[in-house]
Amino acid sequence: MTTFPSHGLSYTTFSYSDFTLSKPTVSNGDLQLTAKVTVKNTGKVTGSDTVQIYVAMPSTSELTHAPLQLRAFKKVKDLAPGTSETITLRLDKYAVSYWEERIARWVVEDGEYTARVGRSSAPEDLTLAATFKIEKGFEWNGL
């Protein structure tokens, strides 16, 4: 469990725990993956928080990628003191794709990806992590 001080005007603190990822499903040129995390208001007043998921590409990639990329977020609203809520975020092919200029297509590489959850991209906020593996990469066109 990780406790975060509030940012902005929430005037409370939150903790995150139980971060899990489903096994990714690849079919028909798309990918589906579900992330779950429990958010608890550890402060003394009702507050809201924005849960963010960042994804790191496989370390085996031959290209240089940003170390972490924001790929999903969801607001937890009006959480009373001492209460918790488990939220679900969905990731798809956009969360693991990059544009490959040489072939003018989007690419999803095979390999092990790391997802981190927190309230910001600051390293001290991203203490919960889980990995998922894409067995067979693919390419796709369009948006």
Which tokens belong to 44? Answer: 């003394």
Residue 58 makes CB contacts below 8 A (sequence gap 6+) with: 109, 110, 111, 112, 113
Q: Any idea how long the chain is? A: 143
CA atoms within 13 A on the CB side of 4: 29
Q: Please state, in angstroms and rounded to a whole number, the distance separating the CA atoms of residues 93 and 43.
A: 36
Q: Strand, coil or helix: what is 10? A: coil
Q: What is the predicted pLDDT for the residue at 6?
A: 46
pLDDT per residue as tens digits for the range 40-89 = 999 999 999 999 999 999 988 777 888 899 999 999 999 999 999 999 99
Round the CA-based radius of gyration of the chain to a whole number and report it. 17
pLDDT at 1 over 80: no
Q: Please state, in angstroms and rounded to a whole number, the distance separating the CA atoms of residues 33 and 97.
A: 14
Q: Where are the alpha helices (DSSP H) in 47-128?
A: none
Residue 72 makes CB contacts below 8 A (sequence gap 6+) with: 35, 52, 53, 89, 90, 91, 95
Q: Please state, in angstroms and rounded to a whole number, the distance separating the CA atoms of residues 107 and 83.
A: 41
Q: What is the predicted pLDDT for the residue at 24?
A: 96
pLDDT per residue as tens digits for the range 97-107 = 999 999 999 99
Which tokens belong to 96? Answer: 């693991």
